[in-house]
Homo-oligomer: A and B are copies of this chain.
Amino acid sequence: MSCREDLAHPCGNGLWSPFDPTDGSPEQCLGGMAWLPGLDHGDPLLTPSSFLRIGQLSNVDLNEDIHELETEVPRQRPNEIPHNEKLLSLKYESLDYDNSENQLFLEEERRINHAAFRTVEIKRWVICAMIGILTGLVACFIDIVVENLAGLKYRVVKDNIDKFTAKGGLSFSLLLWATLNASVVMVGSLIVAFIEPVAAGSGIPQIKCYLNGVKIPHVVRLKTLVIKVCGVILSVVGGLAVGKEGPMIHSGSVIAAGISQGRSTSLKRDFKIFEYFRRDTEKRDFVSAGAAAGVSAAFGAPVGGVLFSLEEGASFWNQFLTWRIFFASMISTFTLNSVLSVYHGNAWDLSSPGLINFGRFDSEKMGYTIQEIPIFIFMGVVGGILGALFNALNYWLTMFRIRYIHRPCLQVVEAMLVAAVTATVGFVMIYCSRDCQPIQGSSVAYPLQLFCADGEYNSMATAFFNTPEKSVVNLFHDPPGSYNPMTLGMFTLMYFFLACWTYGLTVSAGVFIPSLLIGAAWGRLFGISLSYLTKGSIWADPGKYALMGAAAQLGGIVRMTLSLTVIMMEATGNVTYGFPIMLVLMTAKIVGDYFVEGLYDMHIQLQSVPFLHWEAPVTSHSLTAREVMSTPVTCLRRIERVGTVVDILSDTSSNHNGFPVVESNPDTTQVAGLRGLILRSQLIVLLKHKVFVERANLSLVQRRLKLKDFRDAYPRFPPIQSIHVSQDERECMIDLSEFMNPSPYTVPQVTSWQGVFKLFRALGLRHLVVVDNRNEVVGMVTRKDLARYRLGKEGLEELSLAQT
């Protein structure tokens, strides 16, 4: 018998006492349960005692529901958190992307006729349209608020500088600027650090994980959206080296998740619509559309948005879904375009397709020739190296932050420090710069005269004294000669380190625009140098090289491929540069990958998320399902004692979320063959509704549930501790037949790991049951078992599992 049916007391008393270290030896327990097979007990960072401590502490965050119940538990944080990149966190769960096709589900589906399915389909389109519209509106809101607040700030500071330039005492201006920035950023950081930490950063790694099938707690909640939107406004207004584009992707995703469910749990409003979509399968599809709409609004790149969603999320390409995603993207950029056009006063001309527009590259003047291709490739190499450097620096910084700067107040202080330093660096650079340019017809919004002659402005100020979006566009389009090389060089250097320091702060902000800005600066510098070298040839337009540099730098940092090419292509508004941009991005990726991973992947890994990559590592052919699976598996019988179910669910040492159901009648056959699979969440709903009968009256029909009962509980299923089961009820029996998924996917033990991986990835599974030749359960493969193996520098390496 492979399934442990006597599951009552695997270790300790089996009762729920998460913070009681006397509950059996945790090491034995975890070892005995074999859910931590990769745990290296010799690892200095993970001595039994340290592991125990992490386990205890992070149980607070372990489960969002527990967290909500137990908010009274004090948040003790040690001064130093040991962290290791070779860990895999156990706190993340998988989405149920595979429908549980149990009897209830099938009965409902069979009741729905063709016309009703058409209605469902129409609803999907309506939801996508709403996602597009709302995402576009949110983008407009961010844009307009940022423009006004930043304008206000720059005007105040400019007036101040103008005042003090004449009479001396510019240090007051610096103080004013730095204080303004730091206080704005403080508010932005406070709300993120104390109210919703998951709103920090661009959100792209989190959305990548969500689309990959990992449930990141709180990631698609309304509260997160509100904090994100306010946070990004404050970060940009606070003058940090950040962009507002990345967060749009996260915002779009939250909007999609919210609308598609037709209710908000945070607001406790249920609109009783779209109930059909209340499951992970449907929700994730809408979140893809939301992410695409976000990209589309951010860059005016609807096709790029679709490709982004597909690159990050699609485990199974579906034409209808793609088309809907594209629809949402198009609506999103169109909404943004219409509203911003009206706002800017030229109502019908539709000239603002995205939050950032690279401006019109006139392809006749700025075409490229075949001779330039080696130059572009060289720029790709430079971008790859600089990107790798950026990522490596950010890696060390992030490790430092995880270990030492994990208290919210420290995080806020760091953000304020960065804001003040950014202002100071900008000020000093502007102050020291002697690069004066004539104002005549220039597009500079806040020309700082400083020590320049009348009618001239300080060109360093175009770069520093401006929102980064505008600086990028200026670098692309200002006529040759607008910047002197020294300015550009200093700016690149400073901004590089500022942006690197900024990414990972506890503020909502994106890395796209800073990357583009760094790249545009050195690209333009490169173009100017080329122009010197070639004695000002017509083709050596610095704006073109600024574009290529921007692509190279961004590619070197984020390492996106097809989607980024298309985003860049769409943002430039014409397809002429498609081929050179592709070359540059490809080179940057190849060079960068040689040194270090992409920024998002790096952060995902540092968060120890069980992320499934595209393919199993190539050298994994020696592994089979037998080696990777977790074993022993806790099985349930088809008609099971309620007490056993409660004990199993309450067993904190194993946080299983799916349980194979095996044949319960020992008379018919000796084989305890697999009959189905039931999820923890389903069991909890069953227990909550007391769906069981007395043992003596097994012939009685147990209470029938409807699919609606499960949907109403989705997605925040209560924890088992909140469900009271009396001692009498414990002796009742529960029949799982009609609730379990009767046809879970299975593989034999000899299946190669590649095969397991392919099946798991392609179908977006959460549990894959491993059976022997007689269909008996011998093990279970979950996401963690697959994500545990990784291709390192010296071949296949195994990550340790930890509760952190």
Which A positions have Cβ atoms within 8 angstroms of B?
Answer: 99, 101, 106, 109-110, 112-114, 117, 302-303, 306, 310-311, 314-320, 322-323, 326-327, 330, 333-334, 338, 348-350, 363, 367-371, 561-562, 565-566, 569-570, 573-576, 578-579, 582-583, 586, 614-615, 618-619, 621-622, 625, 663, 669, 671, 673-675, 742-743, 745-748, 750-752, 754-755, 758-759, 762-763, 771, 773-775, 791, 795
Contacts and interface: CB of A to CB of B under 8 A. Distances in A.
Contacts of A330: 578-579, 582-583
Given A575-B575, A773-B675, A614 B320 contact: yes
Given A117-B619, A573-B575, A752 B748 contact: no
Given A578-B303, A747-B743, A106 B621 contact: yes
B562 A306 contact: yes
B319 A348 contact: no
A330 B579 CA distance: 6
A586 B748 CA distance: 45
21 contacts: A101-B751, A114-B619, A114-B795, A302-B582, A303-B562, A303-B569, A311-B319, A315-B317, A320-B615, A323-B561, A326-B562, A348-B370, A574-B575, A743-B748, A743-B755, A745-B747, A745-B759, A759-B763, A762-B763, A774-B774, A775-B775
- Which of A306, A561, A562, A745 has the most CB atoms of chain B within a 10 A radius of its CB? A562
A338 B373 CA distance: 12
Nearest to A773: B673
Given A323-B561, A774-B774, 10 more contacts: A112-B618, A114-B795, A311-B319, A322-B562, A350-B367, A573-B574, A671-B671, A742-B750, A742-B751, A758-B763
A752 B106 contact: yes
Contacts of A625: 743
A675 B774 CA distance: 10
Contacts of A747: 743, 745
Nearest to A764: B762
Contact of A370 (B338, B671, B746): B338
Given A330-B582, A619-B114, A751 B746 contact: no
A615 B311 contact: no
Contacts of A101: 751-752, 754-755
B113 A578 contact: no
Contacts of A622: 110
Contacts of A323: 561-562, 586
A314 B774 CA distance: 35
Contact of A618 (B114, B310, B371): B114
Contact of A349 (B367, B566, B771): B367
Contact of A566 (B303, B334, B752, B773): B303
A566 B303 CA distance: 8
Nearest to A320: B614
A622 to B, nearest CB: 6
Contacts of A743: 625, 747-748, 750-752, 755
Contacts of A363: 573
Contacts of A570: 575, 578
Given A349-B367, A622-B110, A326 B673 contact: no
Nearest to A581: B330
Contacts of A338: 370
Most B CB atoms within 10 A — which of A303, A368, A575, A586?
Answer: A575
B319 A317 contact: no
Contacts of A573: 363, 574-576
Contact of A310 (B317, B369, B579, B791): B317
Contacts of A316: 315-317, 758, 762
Contacts of A348: 369-371
A197 to B, nearest CB: 29
Contacts of A569: 303, 575
Contacts of A326: 561-562, 565, 582
A383 to B, nearest CB: 17
A614 B752 contact: no
